[in-house]
Structure 1
């Protein structure tokens, strides 16, 4: 089965859109968490909760060179996810925010679904389009 995820030749726009999708999903994760704990849904509140994970996301993009294959679920998605979670938790701990075990589990699983899930869907769509156009 050929790999149809964008490679080094990925257009800069694809990388920018992928980074934006990741950032929106990290902020959505923070907003959902705040709402589930009745902490209020203000933009500054969501960003205050999201910032450690947004910083981790940036580190994940740098560590994985995500712009080379921004939609690749395994090569990029898993690496970005792992760095986002680890760095986000470390920054939360260093800044005095909570890192309870239940939060670590929920954050890890939610960010896995968010950061890898959209890449799996995008790759599946690209593959189905590629195979549909073949005779």
Structure 2
């Protein structure tokens, strides 16, 4: 295995996390009939993408695997909390119900994708 494989894997995982945050934003905009323009989705996703970057940075700085059992929750919580802080700073809403929904959906997306990847990796290893 080359030395770039782990880096490529983390880069791919970070990109997948970003896509999941963008999907979250698109679903939210669609459910509130706000329109699915590129600019609109970017505006909604932006604060959470900043939170996601913060979460990955915190996990890596703490020597936690951002894809692991301890680092994954750090990424999730920082994505939600950071996103809400940025939304407050730019004058966007952070109603309690939105915080709850964002926490649940992003938790399912970010932690669920890690669980699924781990399950697939264990099955592949078991097959030999």
1:32-57 residue CA offsets vs partner (Å, 9 max, x unmatched)? 00000000000110000111100000
- What residue in structure 2 maps to residue 22 of structure 1? 17
How far apart are residue 82 of structure 1 and its match? 0.5
CA contact (8 A) 2:55 2:76 kept: yes
**Which of 119, 128, 131 does residue 126 from structure 2 map onto?**
131
**Which of 107, 110, 118 does residue 112 from structure 1 map onto?**
107
**Which of 65, 72, 77 does residue 69 from structure 1 map onto?**
65
CA contact (8 A) 1:56 1:83 kept: yes
1:62-116 residue CA offsets vs partner (Å, 9 max, x unmatched)? 00018973432x2221110011111110111111101111100000000000111
CA distance in 2, matches of 1:35, 1:95: 21
Higher mean C-alpha displacement, 123-132 vs 53-62: 123-132
- What residue in structure 1 maps to residue 55 of structure 2? 60
**Which of 98, 101, 105 does residue 103 from structure 1 map onto?**
98
CA distance in 2, matches of 1:101, 1:14: 35
Q: CA RMSD in A?
A: 1.8
CA distance in 2, matches of 1:117, 1:87: 20
CA distance in 2, matches of 1:128, 1:41: 37
TM-score (normalizing by structure 1) = 0.86
How far apart are residue 128 of structure 1 and its match? 1.3
Asked if residue 32 in structure 1 is aligned to residue 27 in structure 2, the reply is: yes
